[in-house]
Amino acid sequence: MRIAFVNHTEKWGGVKTWCLDMAAAFAAAGHSASLYGRDALFLGRAAALGLEAHARPGGMDYHPLSIAAYVRAFRQSGVEAVVVNVGKDVRTAGIAARLLGLPVIRHVGAPWDFRDSLQVRLDHALVRPAFLCCSRYVLEGIVRRVPHVRNFPHAAIHPGTPLPPERPAPENDPPRLVTTSRLSGDKRHADLLGALVLLRGRGFSPALDIVGAGPEEAALKGFVRDNDLEGQVRFHGFSSSVAEYLDRADIFVLPSRCEPLGIALEEGMAHGLVPVARKAGGVPEIWPDGLGDLLLPEEAGPGDFARCLEAILLWPRERRLAVRDMVRRTARERFSRQGQFQAFARWLFSLAGRPAGPSPPSGQAPGSSAVRPGEEDSRPGRQPGPEGRGLIPSCLQTRLNARRQSF
């Protein structure tokens, strides 16, 4: 199968990581994947992975030339399904895919990705996409905000993360902290830095690596300087690979006020780091069993983070290593990239009318589900209701099936 991922956003985010991971997984499974966008970093990462990458300017919504360019590209490449993200993707590549009779999947990364406006209703009535959400929290939230989504095929499938080779955990004394996310106000790095100030007053001075860049960087560096934390805290800026920082840490802190899921948290857990986060958004869906005391309230402040981190710092070494092994197992069982790719691929193949997809992992892929809020039928590919009925018109489906047989 040949799938195209389209993303016209400019800033880096988890959805771009997901697009690259899924495209690479499709290629590794013997399929073909191509990526379209305008972010040079995104396209450069795709090319570095050996993936087909195409630069596309955003252009005006609904512009005939933009749509025609995508029609031509998809037809020439033999694309069989298209994944879009933001509204501009829908109003250019999404329309092109619809004209070709191709399944369109709209990836939804947060409950607030789009609102219930007349334009959005018209977009979805025209393109008739299926909706792929990164967590049940996101799916339930977007259905509350935009009720017509329930009339289209939809699923909640957690993004996966690569599993690093298992190796002995580092033995830092005191344990080393790391956080990896964009430096913006909603990520609440200030709460973590405030916790370090409080910990120092109690005799603890753990090192902290901050990986990421963003609008709050100058303010956070100023806080570190003003509170004499420069010996403990290091800013590393944006990194295309956070593995080197995760490999040398012991504790992963996600201070964000609300995460739709938290790919950064998945990465930290895959490396076997003791996790600390807030009980908000989609985070509880992937949280390790038995570590509820490390999942702080949504309104938690520096004092709450300080108390939680102090408790971990006081753990005996044996307990810390045992917890790290358990966290690593949780990641392997619930959200490995391969397992989540297979869950996504099976759902996608059902939408495209394929009789079979990649073989499933042993057992049901945890963390993935094709679900409907409430008690409605949630089978992927179902086309209920007047807006969602007929994801692919029968006349175009016949043409699509004929084209598939030629590949």
pLDDT at 60 over 90: no
Beta sheet of 177-180, edge-to-edge order: 233-237, 208-211, 177-180, 251-254, 274-278, 295-296
In this prediction, residue 393 carries a pLDDT of 37
pLDDT at 134: 93
Tell which residue, 1, 26, 17, 13, has the closest CA to residue 341: 26
pLDDT at 378 over 60: no
Residues 257, 342: Cα–Cα separation, whole Å: 31
What is the C-alpha separation between 8 and 39, in angstroms, rounded?
7
Average pLDDT, the chain: 86
Domains of the chain (ranges, CATH numbers):
2-160+337-405 (3.40.50.2000), 177-334 (3.40.50.2000)
Contacts of 66 by beta carbon, 8 Å cutoff, 6+ apart = 59, 60, 92
Residue 297: burial class (beta carbons within 10 Å; 0-12, 13-18, 19+): exposed
228 class by beta-carbon count within 10 Å (0-12 exposed, 13-18 middle, 19+ buried): exposed
Q: For residue 357, what pLDDT band results from cuts at 50, 70 and 90?
A: low
Closest to 294 in 3D by CA, of 327, 248, 261, 264? 327
Closest CA to 137 of 292, 286, 289, 260: 260
* Alpha carbon distance 146, 133 (integer Å): 13
396, pLDDT greater than 80:
no
pLDDT of residue 283: 95
- Among 1-10, 41-50, 234-243, 382-391, whose mean pLDDT is lowest? 382-391
- Number of neighbouring beta carbons within 10 Å of residue 395: 9
* Most confident residue range from 156-165, 168-177, 224-233: 224-233
Say yes or no to pLDDT of 367 above 50.
Answer: no
| pLDDT-derived band at 384, boundaries 50, 70, 90 | very low
Tell me which residue has tokens 């489906």: 397
Number of Cβ within 10 Å of residue 6's Cβ equals 28
**Which pair of structure tokens corresponds to residue 9?**
């956003």
Query: For 209-251, how does the pLDDT look when each residue is reduced to its tens digit (9 = 90+)?
Result: 999 999 999 999 999 999 999 999 999 998 878 999 999 999 9
Among 135-144, 146-155, 387-396, the minimum mean pLDDT is found in 387-396
Stated pTM of the model:
0.81
Q: How many angstroms separate the CA atoms of 80 and 32, rounded?
A: 10
Write the CA distances from 336 to 26, 260, 275, 342, integer angstroms: 15, 18, 17, 10
Mean pLDDT to the nearest integer, 367-395: 37
Whether 147 shows a pLDDT value over 90: the answer reads yes
Which tens digits make up the pLDDT trace of 290-334? 999 999 999 999 999 999 999 999 999 999 999 999 999 999 999
Is residue 170's pLDDT more than 80?
no
Query: What pLDDT band is residue 368 in, cutting at 50, 70 and 90?
Result: very low
pLDDT reported for residue 358: 52
Query: Is residue 323 classed exposed, middle or buried when 0-12, 13-18 and 19+ CB atoms within 10 A define those classes?
Result: buried
Supply the pLDDT for residue 391. Answer: 35
Chain centroid to CA 201: 37
Higher pLDDT pick, 255 / 390:
255
Kindly state the percentage of the chain with pLDDT values over 70.
Answer: 86
User: Is the model's pLDDT at 370 over the cut of 60?
Assistant: no
pLDDT in tens, 256-286: 998 898 889 999 999 999 999 999 999 999 9
Q: State the alpha helices, DSSP H only, in 275-316.
A: 283-286, 302-313
Say whether pLDDT at 77 is over 70.
Answer: yes
Cβ within 8 Å of residue 398, ≥6 positions away? none
Q: Is the pLDDT of residue 165 over 90?
A: no
Would you say residue 362 has pLDDT above 60?
no
At 194, the pLDDT band (50, 70, 90 cuts) reads very high
Q: How far apart are CA 361 and CA 341, in angstroms?
A: 10
More confident of the two residues 150 and 165: 150
